[in-house]
C-alpha cells in the first residue's frame, strides 16, 4: 500500500492498493474509491463491537479489498486539522483519544483501552475509555488542528490541558493532577485538573481539540428571546 496525504487543513489520505490488499475503517469513513474496491462490513465479534461502542466509535467496521487489480481509496478528515500516519508493530502499540482512528491497513487491531485509575478517566479530560491500536501495519489518525510531537525520556513529565492529548505510546503513563491553589482552580480558567503524562515514549498533541472548539462556538451563540 502506498499513500499520500493531501489538502490540509481539511486533509484526505489517498491510498493506492495492489490487488488483494485490504484497508479497514470505521463505518462511513470512506470518501471516494475506484469501482473495484469491494466493501465488507463486519463487527469482529461481540466483545469488540461493544468495546468500540463504549469508546465512542461505530460498532461495525468496513473492510475494503482491491479486487482484480490495483485500486484506490480515500479517507477524509471530518474536522479541520491533520491526518497522521503511524506505523504500528507488535512491540509498539499506541493509545489514542476517542474518535481519532480514521483507517488502517489489514493486520491492525483496534480495541478498547480503560484507564487504570478511575480519577484519570473522570477528570483527565481524555475520557475513562480510550482506544488501543496494536498489531502490524499502518494506521491513520485524525488530529484536531495542528500536530505537535514530543518524545519523552524515562521519567520525563508533560502537563497537558484537557483535550490536547491525541496519542501516546503504550509505554507512557497517564495520570491526573489537581491544580494547586483555590484561586487558581476557580478563577484561572484552566479547570480543576490537568493531565500528566510520564515517559518513556512519544506523545502526540493537537492544537485545536474539537471539544474546546465546540465550547467556544456555544459561548458565542446568544439565546433567542
Taking only the tens place, the pLDDT of each residue in 132-153 is 999 999 999 999 999 999 999 9
Q: What was the pLDDT predicted at 121?
A: 47
Check if the beta carbon of residue 75 is closer than 8 Å to that of residue 37: no
How is domain 2-220 classified at the CATH fold level? Answer: Double-stranded beta-helix (3.60.160)
Element (H, E) at 42: strand 37-42
Residue matched to cell numbers 483527565: 124
Residue matched to cell numbers 488502517: 104
Q: What was the pLDDT predicted at 194?
A: 80
pLDDT at 118 over 60: no
pLDDT at 188 over 50: no
The better pLDDT of the pair 33, 53 is held by: 33
d(CA 149, CA 101): 17
d(CA 93, CA 111): 11
Q: Which of 112, 130, 141, 139 is nearest to 197 (CA)?
A: 130
Check if the beta carbon of residue 92 is closer than 8 Å to that of residue 169: yes
d(CA 185, CA 189): 7
Grid coordinates representing 27 are 463505518
Cβ neighbours of residue 91 closer than 8 Å, sequence gap 6 or more? none
Q: Which of 185, 190, 159 is nearest to 174 (CA)?
A: 159
Grid coordinates representing 61 are 467496521
Enumerate the domain spans of the chain: 2-220
Confidence of residue 124 (pLDDT cuts 50, 70, 90): very low
Check if the beta carbon of residue 102 is closer than 8 Å to that of residue 83: yes
pLDDT at 117 over 80: no
pLDDT at 189 over 60: no
Average of per-residue pLDDT values in the chain: 83
Grid coordinates representing 50 are 461493544
Number of helices (H), then strands (E), belonging to the chain: the values are: 4, 19
pTM more than 0.85: no
pLDDT tens-digit readout, 52-98: 555 556 667 899 999 999 999 999 998 899 999 999 999 999 999 88
Check if the beta carbon of residue 164 is closer than 8 Å to that of residue 211: no
d(CA 187, CA 175): 23
Amino acid at each position: 500500500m502506498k499513500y499520500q496525504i493531501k489538502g490540509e487543513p481539511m486533509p484526505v489520505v489517498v491510498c493506492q492498493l495492489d490487488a488483494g490488499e485490504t484497508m479497514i475503517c470505521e463505518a462511513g469513513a470512506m470518501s471516494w474509491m475506484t469501482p473495484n474496491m469491494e466493501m465488507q462490513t463486519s463487527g469482529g465479534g461481540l466483545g469488540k463491537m461493544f468495546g468500540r461502542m463504549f469508546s465512542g466509535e461505530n460498532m461495525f467496521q468496513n473492510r475494503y479489498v482491491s479486487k482484480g487489480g490495483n485500486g484506490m481509496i480515500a479517507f477524509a478528515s471530518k474536522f479541520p486539522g491533520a491526518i497522521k500516519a503511524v506505523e504500528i508493530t507488535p512491540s509498539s502499540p499506541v493509545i489514542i483519544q476517542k474518535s481519532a482512528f480514521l483507517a488502517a491497513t489489514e493486520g491492525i487491531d483496534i480495541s478498547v483501552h480503560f484507564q487504570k485509575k478511575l480519577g484519570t478517566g473522570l477528570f483527565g479530560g481524555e475520557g475513562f475509555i480510550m482506544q488501543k491500536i496494536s498489531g502490524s501495519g499502518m494506521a491513520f489518525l485524525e488530529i484536531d488542528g495542528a500536530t505537535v510531537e514530543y518524545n519523552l525520556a524515562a521519567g520525563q513529565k508533560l502537563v497537558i490541558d484537557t483535550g490536547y492529548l491525541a496519542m501516546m505510546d503504550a509505554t507512557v503513563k497517564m495520570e491526573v493532577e489537581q491544580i494547586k491553589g483555590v484561586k487558581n482552580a476557580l478563577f484561572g480558567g484552566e479547570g480543576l485538573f490537568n493531565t500528566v503524562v510520564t515517559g518513556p515514549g512519544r506523545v502526540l498533541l493537537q492544537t485545536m481539540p474539537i471539544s474546546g472548539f465546540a465550547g467556544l462556538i456555544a459561548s458565542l451563540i446568544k439565546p433567542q428571546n
